[in-house]
Amino acid sequence: MDRFALFLQNLRRLEEGLEALNQEFADLYREFDGEDFTNQPEYANSFNSLLESTTHGSASDIGFAREALVAYASYITFRKKYKYLSDSQLANVIDSNALSSKEKLALRTLFPSTDNQCLLATLATLRRDWNATFNNKSYSQVKAKLTF
């Protein structure tokens, strides 16, 4: 298992552990609830909110971060594989159903020794790789979620 997969597995365990903790101690605030002094219910409510935030909220944050890490890693890996294409060329190839003559000519210059059939096969492979990696999302959809 590579290091990133191990890291994700450990994050998942942490997330699941926090959710289990949330379930096991969901009613813990009741030990602090009551009417023994002024505003005790408000303090118990605040305690419960903090408890929920610490367990379920943190687990949710970890889950969202884990998904974002996967998206970044997948994008970086894909871009390294197709580094010979610019960002705009990739967007055109992935998001366009049909490339214009100008776009095809620009791509053709990247592969001067390749015939048209081979170029089309390369572009088809690129699209398949993208769709398999990003669940058929457009290039612009994926890029919109990745910020730096």
Number of structural domains the chain divides into? 2
62 plus 125 within the same structural domain: no
Selected residue with higher pLDDT from 84 and 58: 58
Give the domain-ending residue among 81, 114, 140.
81
Same domain, 71 and 5: yes
The per-residue pLDDT for range 100-142, each reduced to its tens digit, is 878 877 888 877 777 878 888 888 999 999 999 999 999 999 9
Provide the whole-model pTM. Answer: 0.84
When the pLDDT of each residue in the chain is averaged and rounded to a whole number, the result is: 92
- Are 61 and 75 part of one and the same domain? yes
pLDDT digits 0-9 by tens, 59-78: 999 999 999 999 999 999 99
Tell me the C-alpha distance between 131 and 144, whole Å: 16
How far is it, in rounded angstroms, from Cα 83 to Cα 110? 11
Percentage of the chain beyond pLDDT 70 is 99
pLDDT for the residue 102: 81
